[in-house]
Amino acid sequence: MTYRGFLAELLMAECDDRARRRSERRIKAAGFSREKSLRSFDFGANPNIDPATIHALASCEWIKKSQPLCLIGDSGTGKSHLLIALGTEAAMKGYRVRYTLATKLVNELVKAADEKQLNKTIARYGRVDLLCIDELGYMELDRHGAELLFQILTESEEKNSVAIASNESFGGWTKTFTDSRLCAAIVDRLTFNGTIIETGTDSYRIASTRARARAEESAKAS
């Protein structure tokens, strides 16, 4: 290898290392609750989820266009895994990502409002390219909390992408957002020009546990 070739390889290795470190910093800054990747997702366990659709989303074109994403399904159907995995893909591609639980976000906004810091907090969330909101629909929100969440969605509309994971179909969101007009406005913000993926009702975790139990029983019998 020539000296020039050696320097070129050294430079490429340094650039790759810097890109890797930047990617790691963006993933850490996103605040994901746990590590999840598309590579570890078992598409064969849930026929409701189209691998082609998910891999198309991994290209992050929808984030470039500031479009929303909704993952709807029962607990254990893979929606949180996909939410985090797609958020991770976005961070790796250079997008600013923030992950939070719905109740945690609302509590943060309520506290910010009490401390006269609401505009600052909303602006901070408005600066991310992708806001991932997990477990939307698990708990009822009072009108004040729902209005604050609506402000976040309004701030992001057509400027940034919002991705949510919810265990409730849109028809059941009135249990979370008790004001029907506000609920309709929130659904409108989260679905306009967006992608909706229904992950179904069959829990992968329960099915996996049952399969493991059957395998253990079979092993004992033999």
Q: Is residue 1 part of a domain?
A: no
Number of domains in the chain: 1
What's the domain range around 83?
Answer: 22-221
pLDDT above 80 (res 222) = no
Diameter over CA atoms, the chain: 71
Q: Is residue 14 part of a domain?
A: no
How far is Cα 127 from Cα 106, in angstroms, rounded to an integer?
A: 18
Q: Is residue 7 part of a domain?
A: no
pLDDT tens digit sequence for 158-189 = 789 999 999 988 888 888 888 888 899 999 98
pLDDT above 70 (res 100) = yes
pLDDT tens digit sequence for 44-75 = 888 999 999 999 999 999 999 999 999 999 98
Q: Is residue 12 part of a domain?
A: no
Q: Is residue 45 part of a domain?
A: yes
Q: Is residue 9 part of a domain?
A: no
Identify the residue with better confidence: 108 or 45.
Answer: 108
Specify the pTM.
Answer: 0.83
